[in-house]
Amino acid sequence: MKNSFPEDFINDTGHKSDTGVTDFPGSVYAATGSLKGEILLQWDAVREANKYIIQISKKNRVSEAWQQFDFVKDPLYSITGLKPGKEYSFRVAAVYSNGLGKWSSYVTKKVK
């Protein structure tokens, strides 16, 4: 799924809450799912986030451009249809009413 936003919407500046603290998902955790080609992702919920954006990259291409994967409401997601035996990296950012927060650190997982 590909969505488009104005360039100034997607950035790495983070979002400052009322307390002055920048909120972002932190670490993303990945586990192999019970279905062939499935990876389960989970991260800490971010206060004031409207939704989250998930990006995916092939393991050996983490330094290259990430691909937008999906937008989700909850900090839990099941990705299916991935190629068994391949490694993928994932990262997440919170989406606020005024823009996109900082990206989480990425996690890499091999699909079983």
- The model's pLDDT over 93-103, given as tens digits with 9 standing for 90+, comes to 999 988 899 99
Query: Would you give the distance in Å from CA 107 to the centre of its chain?
Result: 10
Residue 61 contacts by C-beta under 8 Å, 6 or more apart in sequence? Answer: none
Q: How confident is the model at residue 63 (pLDDT cuts 50, 70, 90)?
A: low
Helix (DSSP H) and strand (DSSP E) numbers for the chain: 0, 8
Give the pTM: 0.77
Mean pLDDT, the chain, integer: 80
- Report d(CA 99, CA 71) in Å as an integer: 14
- Residue 74 C-beta-side C-alpha neighbours within 13 Å: 6
Q: Domains in the chain, start-ordered, CATH in brackets?
A: 28-110 (2.60.40.10)
